[in-house]
Amino acid sequence: MQKIIILDFGSQTTQLIGRRVRELDTFCEIMPYNKFPKDDPSVIGVILSGSPYSVHDPEAFKVDLSQFVGRLPVLGICYGAQFISHTLGGKVEKADSREYGRANLETINLDNPLFKGFERGSQVWMSHGDTITAIPADFEVIGSTKDVKNAAFASTKQPVWAVQFHPEVFHTLQGTQLLKNFVVDICGSRQEWSAASFVDSTVAELKAQLGEDRVILGLSGGVDSSVAAVLLNKAIGKNLTCIFVDHGMLRKNEFTQVMNDYKVLGLNVIGVDASEKFFADLAGVSDPEQKRKIIGRDFVEVFNAEAKKITDAKWLAQGTIYPDRIESLNITGKVIKSHHNVGGLPKEMHLQLCEPLKWLFKDEVRRVGRQLGMPEHLITRHPFPGPGLAVRILGDITPEKVRVLQDADDIYIRGLRDYKVKLSGEEARKVLAAGVPADMTDGTIEVSLYDQIWQAGAILLSTVRSVGVMGDERTYEHPVALRAVTSTDAMTADWAHLPYDFMAKVSNEIINKVRGVNRVCYDISSKPPATIEWE
């Protein structure tokens, strides 16, 4: 299959470039800047990402451009553009002030294939401290803003293009058009990558890989493991056994609801209620890290006990997705995230690993789920932490505290699903690009608040009490904090600006209906510096 290689120089938006290319029905791989695959005939083009470094930094990431320049079409983005200029004889200097935010392409060479279909004055998004003051010989400027003369340039002799702005972000209004021009028109993508083609090819591969072998899969109720299970079930049917462990800290009625969903999907699922064990082992423990370790240890013990009963199993399947496997780089150049496995299974079980979703981004997983005919509420379910509500309860864990938080969280999540909003322009494009099904009418779409945000949940501040008045009586109970964030990949997140009337209604309902809560707050912290979860 044809593919685009995206060389990662450490930018926070590298994964977003990958998602945009995949949205063009074109397969791509994100690889560390120094690991370009040589002699791979399936590669049809190369994109160089941004970076936290300046090209002048001694530790700046560098790549040998001769590996692909002249052989394949190349597009440099931000640092990638500066690196091309710096390496091929241009000049990159520190800008008088950081060029950050919206700008407009006042001059565009509309005859250049990179800008086919563009409008003059098209809005782009800048984010760099250096600027290109001179381009290499045999290159020409094809786009300029008011403040950046060399905003876009191209070689007159080789298929090389470079832009100092970020076409992958939504603020560059015709960024998708630019990437389409490069990937489809310039590189010649046949646009063969789709949810349907992925399902067909993956099912065939799984049948060949697994044969009549028995496979075990640990389900969490989340979209990744659920889609992996349905995909495997389509390939090997009864030879798949799923294990769903209830540690007692799922959302309200979630264990029963998810088990019913899996039954409807025809999955062979073993449901294990191990809540008594988890609560006993968590008794009196309030340190967040210690809580996580206990839950992780107990989960492995419970899962192993069930897995050992399936004596003829040869494979362990998991819902690993592509962002879990990408080697992301921090500014020190050290790998901070690499391929993860489900740990804890004893070596003597000799299980091989099967990861049917390992090439997919989260939005692609949801598209595959829809292709497989899964119910929408499973596909659009927000990410939920493995330790569950244990990391949304400050202090020690008790069944009563979990009950209080489940009730408050249930009101909050149902409210988000029920509250409809109309979106247009950039906001509508973001939601549609994430794969949320919605019909565009008169330039607007109507979606729920739940579908508009990345993740939401309630947090019980059980280490805090506040005074209140209910029914002319003084109360001294716990506050609940509500959290909702917008994001593309959870690497960074911004707090969601929920409507005041919605928050007023939810706050009133929680205080009136949830015994043990007399105050509701809203968390307006972004990541960084805060994390999405409180613990």
User: What residues act catalytically?
Assistant: 78, 166, 168
Q: Which two tokens stand for residue 435?
A: 């794969």
How is residue 315 annotated by DSSP?
Answer: E
Q: For Cα atoms 242, 244, 246, give the angle at the middle one, nearest 5 degrees.
A: 170
Contact 352, 317 (CB under 8 A): no
What does the alpha-carbon distance between residue 41 and residue 4 come to, in Å, rounded to a whole number? 11
Two structure tokens written together for 311: 């004596």
Residue 431 CA to residue 423 CA, distance in Å, equals 9
Task: Tell me the one-letter amino acid at 147.
Answer: D
CA gap 510, 479 in Å, rounded:
10
**Hey, what are 24's tokens?**
């063009």
Pairing of the two strands 139-144 and 107-108? antiparallel
Of 6, 25, 17, 20, nearest to 434 by C-alpha is: 20
The answer to whether residues 164 and 103 touch, using CB atoms and an 8 Å cutoff, is no
CB 270 within 8 A of CB 306: yes
Reading the block at residue 66, the tokens are 């001769």
The residues facing 479 across adjacent strands are 519
The Cα 63–Cα 61 span in angstroms is 7
**Given the structure tokens 């021009």, which residue do they identify?**
181
Preceding omega of 529 cis (within 30 degrees of 0): yes
Structure tokens at 199: 């399902």
In this structure, what token pair is assigned to residue 181? 């021009």
Amino acid at 449: L
Alpha-carbon span 329 to 339, nearest angstrom: 13
Bridge partners, residue 456, by sequence: 484
AA letter at 152: A
Q: Kind of pairing, strands 160-163 and 139-144?
A: unpaired
